[in-house]
Amino acid sequence: MAKTKRRPKKKKQEAKEPDPKILPSVLNKFLQNKIQIKTVPNILMINDNFLWKKGDVMRYRINVWVQEKVEGYFSRKTYIGHSFFVHYHHKDKLIVDKTIEPKPEEEKVF
């Protein structure tokens, strides 16, 4: 009787070090200047997602998630209310906004 082949054993994945985060005090100061965070109702969460590092500057995507109750629906509407692409200078504790503003929509003829 022929032997069956066994599956190859999976290699153990190396533990990946956690992504660096922006200091909460610096992040709050930036958001207060940009969107007056206290005036935005129904903020669900704020994410600072590390993208990559080049030299001393780290690139991040900051998303402000908002949740609203919609009339006639069972669940709430959750969406990204504000989003920023920023450069974070870790040594200076400075955030520079590099977000590109969307172009105004042109009126279509047809």
Q: Are 50 and 90 in contact (CB under 8 A)?
A: no
Per-residue pLDDT, 110: 66
Q: Judging by beta carbons within 10 Å of its beta carbon (0-12, 13-18, 19+), is residue 74 exposed, middle or buried?
A: exposed
One digit per residue, the tens of pLDDT, for the chain of length 110 reads 677 788 888 877 777 777 788 888 888 888 888 888 777 788 888 888 888 888 888 888 989 898 888 888 888 888 888 888 989 888 888 888 887 777 788 877 76
Residue pointed to by tokens 């956690």: 18
- pLDDT, position 1: 64
For the chain, give every domain's residue range.
41-97
Of 31, 43, 46, nearest to 68 by C-alpha is 43
Query: Is this structure's pTM higher than 0.75?
Result: no
